[in-house]
Structure 1
Amino acid sequence: METFWEAFKRHGVSRRDFLKFATTITGIMGLSPSMIPQVVRALETKPRVPVLWIHGLECTCCSESFIRSATPLASDVVLSMISLEYDDTLSAAAGEALEKHREEVIKKYWGNYILAVEGNPPLGQDGMYCVVGGKAFLENLKESAKGAKAVIAWGSCASWGCVQAAKPNPTTAVPIHKVITDKPIIKVPGCPPIAEVMTGVIMYMVLFDAIPPLDSQGRPKQFYGNRIHDTCYRRAFFNAGQFVERFDDDGAKKGWCLYKVGCRGPTTYNSCGNIRWYNGLSYPIQAGHGCIGCAEEDFWDKSPFYQRLTTIPLPSVEASPDKVGAVAVAAAAAGAVAHGVISKIRNKGGK
């Protein structure tokens, strides 16, 4: 199978643009600039990796996010970086021919392909709540995972269960790690995940033939290592005690913190605040809507979304220019009085 660089040359990519891409993808993967030479070497020497992308119970929002990746372009990922052998949403083929190809890919690349799973399996009625190609998705999932070297759980459906597994869960939908227990699973939660997070994860695995560093819940640390609260541009307003009380109040117009109207940023781990969406254009909090915590486990069962989390303590002082000025004057006056008292005590002590 051809290498990345060979695929790039075949598509008319210059050496200069190739090196620019290597630099960009290094940053997207959360690596330091010192890793650029290693990324270049990997792109020059590593063969493209076969990928099977299967779909269970889901709304296809992960695929919709993925195809809008701008750095790198989703078309470059699919056509030049990986060998996307099966995807019943993006594939040109369909029906029996496509399902037969999936079976052939499993046999041909046994132990060497990556399985990407979007959505989750329902266990109720022997899996009959989700049927793909004439088979229960539960059966397809187990069959496709057997020969995979690693599994990527795209989105909150595959990672946590999401809305399908929300109470009362009549189909008994479960996240994929409840079914696949003998393979490494990389969870990339979000409803949907950020496009560049998806491409960054898959590129790390392909280039280094390794699983990215994961946290205790199986999420890549470079993308899920910080709370949205930690990278939010409204954090300063939270620290100052300046909050939106209603979506149409003066604080909302000034862009104050959305915590009191239900923002889940303080408890949600994701890269929305620094990578953002649509080539870094915006994200929900920037658009004026609080985070609903879609990357966290059981987020659908943690509603209502428009009530603040009582477990997060608010700053003790709500600041404003007038209050800060008054506090500063009072502090200065208190300091002067204290200085006078201490001086008198010292003088008496000296005498």
Structure 2
Amino acid sequence: MSELIEGLPDAVALRCLARVPFFLHPKLELVSRSWRAAIRSPELFKARQEVGSSENLLCVCAFDPENLWQLYDPLRDLWITLPVLPSKIRHLAHFGVVSTAGKLFVLGGGSDAVDPLTGDQDGSFATNEVWSYDPVTRQWSPRASMLVPRAMFACCALKEKIVVAGGFTSCRKSISQAEMYDPEKDVWVPIPDLHRTHNSACTGVVIGGKVHVLHKGLSTVQVLDHMGLGWTVEDYGWLQGPMAIVHDSVYLMSHGLIIKQHRDVRKVVASASEFRRRIGFAMIGMGDDIYVIGGVIGPDRWNWDIKPMSDVDVLTVGAERPTWRQVSPMTRCRGTILGCTQLRI
């Protein structure tokens, strides 16, 4: 490899390149072959951590276009489009999504896709396939499959491992099995089953370093204290509705309000009445902010049209008077949000 920057040792030059924002990396690659090799090397991303230039981005996948992901850079208010996920399942949905070890992981899920020409249902309700996106190489790669095909399940990243639990399997039967994935070894291992299974979709969040599994319509939460010791059942009395975690605190959208909830103590933070007609959106916390992304404006008795949304609204919950603001809308994705998570690069 020739010198990256004339007159500088490559180790020093790499630390200089590490300070360049991620969205400019494709342009840096055009400078020379040696710069392209450096930009696509794991050493650059290690250097980004060392110099404190790592960035937190949002990853979003919507119903339209099919199997397409975008990244949102909040510092520069811009969207970056990723290559299409190469799954053979059309309109993959009901999957789990997390990021760990600098990669984006899309796990399981399925599709109710119908062939528009024949009317045949050619989708698979639940798969065990796992994909990872590496921002270094900018490519999707298949990873070791889950032990159990599942959709509508809880999925969390914890201590650089991925935990999945519950959901529905291929025959649309609710399951209690849980498993853990080691991205470094590319291996899945079973962990203790959930105490209870319910005939409803479940989601997972990490609070206080513990995985919490919530089933739609239930106030009880199943908590994984330690990987080998199994789950405990708690009743926190949490309200039903979209949820976001900001600095380990739970925020819910319920009855047109954003409510901060700790066990049975509730505090109204801001109004969210403008979202009453919007369904299918994502709500996620990043930094001091809550993001409400995409969705559709549903039909009402006066208007039967369904309007797919690309809007992004942000609430800074740490502010003295939290107020909503709009940032740049998604440039490609729109409509119902199928997956949303953070990625640290």
Q: Same fold (TM over 0.5)?
A: no
- Give TM-score scaled by structure 1 length: 0.25
Instruction: Answer with 1 or 2: which has the greater Rg.
Output: 1
Q: Which has the higher strand share?
A: 2
Structure with greater helix percent? 1
| Normalised TM-score (structure 2) | 0.26
